[in-house]
Amino acid sequence: MLCVAPLDAAHDHRLVFGAWLEWLRRRDAASVPDLVCTGAPGWGAEAALALLDNAPTLRGKVHLLPGASEAMLDALYRQCLFTLHNGGPARWSGAVTDSLAHGKPVLMPAAGDQPPGGGLLHFEAGSEPSLLAALEALSSDPAALEQARVAIVPLRPWADVAADIMAEAGRLAAEAGPTPPLPLRPGYRTPLRRLRHRHQHSAMAVAETARAGTQWHALEEWGVWSRPGAARLSLPLGEGMAGALHLELDLRGPPQDQAVALQARRKGGKALPAIEVVLPAGAERTVTLAVPPGDGAVEVLLDCARAVPLPEGLRVGIGLRALCVARDDSMEDRLAMLESRRFKVVEALPRG
């Protein structure tokens, strides 16, 4: 039998292991199926692990495989009789869906509004005797188990679901109107990193929206890596920003020396000549680009011909920590830009 869930308080493996131990006390060990648990220990796992450590007979039947690969999980799903999901009566997880997708029934706590059927089998939530009775009944009655398996409603493959989501996202993107101006405050630095705040605010929107196309990795705490090749920023600006601009980019080099070609233009306009910057490994540098006047959004290309591998396996181009834009004809903007570059300005991030 298979249990795909973290070993934590929410999934109460202490209850599961207790039922298995009682099962072993009542029956010959050879007649009790093995239990494979693939989750890593988490908060609240101490009681379950202590029971496992102190019961040698249980250790011979319960096998912990944290960090099992996708190939191993696939093999475990194919070979198991059914899966056990003790996530509480109101919990449904990807493991339940994966089990049903592999044609394996799921034994899980009963919920008031969730009748059995469709491959779902129930026991009384929080009851070790009820769980043990269900385990014994299913393991000793192949016909009932086969009936539950036949009742499973075929599920669509994840690849088909992902394809539909991407198609719908593409349709919505094609039908969307022009991107509204980004709330960039002239002269002030906007971080392009993962922002952890309880309230939504404009800095989050800029960090997500400014990165155009698919040539970017996910935001991290410090900033964001581009993918190898040409990554693009798109910055639709508001009123009063149609003149010539200065744009500063705070770059970070990958673990190896990296050359990046930078080019700015207005959307629909002529691009200015690219400049090439070479960043030593791990170095941080601020680069200033001239942006021509115009009504279109500011577009910036960051082109790295060479891919640099990170220790965790990502292949990256260049890192980007923040950006800052200032109007050429505004001394106030230029001074604020200089101060934001030289000093750490402590102020609350806007919520709007």
Q: Is residue 82 assigned to a domain?
A: yes
Amino acid at 283: A
CA distance 244 to 336: 17
Give residue for tokens 């039998």: 1
Do residue 136 and residue 220 come from a single domain? no
The CATH number of the domain holding residue 147 is 3.40.50.2000
Quote the domain boundaries for residue 258.
Answer: 190-342
Of the pLDDT bands very low, low, confident and very high (cuts 50, 70, 90), residue 235 is very high
Do residue 197 and residue 152 come from a single domain? no
Split into its structural domains, the chain has a count of: 2
CA distance 209 to 229: 20
Question: How much is the pLDDT for 199?
Answer: 62
Determine the average pLDDT of the residues in 25-43.
Answer: 90
Q: Is residue 350 assigned to a domain?
A: no
Do residue 6 and residue 144 come from a single domain? yes
pTM above 0.85, yes or no: no
Do residue 134 and residue 36 come from a single domain? yes
The tokens for 200 are 């939504």
Q: Is residue 113 assigned to a domain?
A: yes
Number of Cβ atoms within 10 Å of the Cβ of 346? 5
Q: Which of 213, 210, 185, 207 is nearest to 194 (CA)?
A: 207
% residues pLDDT > 70 (the chain): 93
C-beta of residue 278 within 8 angstroms of C-beta of residue 257: yes
Q: Is residue 77 assigned to a domain?
A: yes
Do residue 228 and residue 314 come from a single domain? yes
Q: Is residue 225 assigned to a domain?
A: yes
Do residue 134 and residue 195 come from a single domain? no
The tokens for 330 are 């505004």
Do residue 154 and residue 200 come from a single domain? no
Question: How much is the pLDDT for 352?
Answer: 46
The CATH number of the domain holding residue 258 is 2.60.120.260
Do residue 77 and residue 206 come from a single domain? no
Question: How much is the pLDDT for 320?
Answer: 97
Do residue 135 and residue 239 come from a single domain? no
Q: Is residue 303 assigned to a domain?
A: yes
Do residue 129 and residue 46 come from a single domain? yes
Q: Is residue 98 assigned to a domain?
A: yes
Rg (CA), the chain: 28
User: What is the full DSSP assignment across 80-134?
Assistant: -S-EE--S-TT---HHHHHHHHTT--EEEE-BTTB-SBTTEEEE-TT-HHHHHHH
| Domain-terminating residue out of 135, 158, 181 | 158
Do residue 101 and residue 211 come from a single domain? no
Q: Is residue 167 assigned to a domain?
A: no
Residue 121 has pLDDT above 50, yes or no: yes
Question: How much is the pLDDT for 299?
Answer: 95
Q: What is the pLDDT of residues 260-277, one digit of tens each?
A: 999 999 988 888 899 999
Q: What is the pLDDT of residues 304-324, one digit of tens each?
A: 989 999 998 899 999 999 999
Do residue 253 and residue 204 come from a single domain? yes
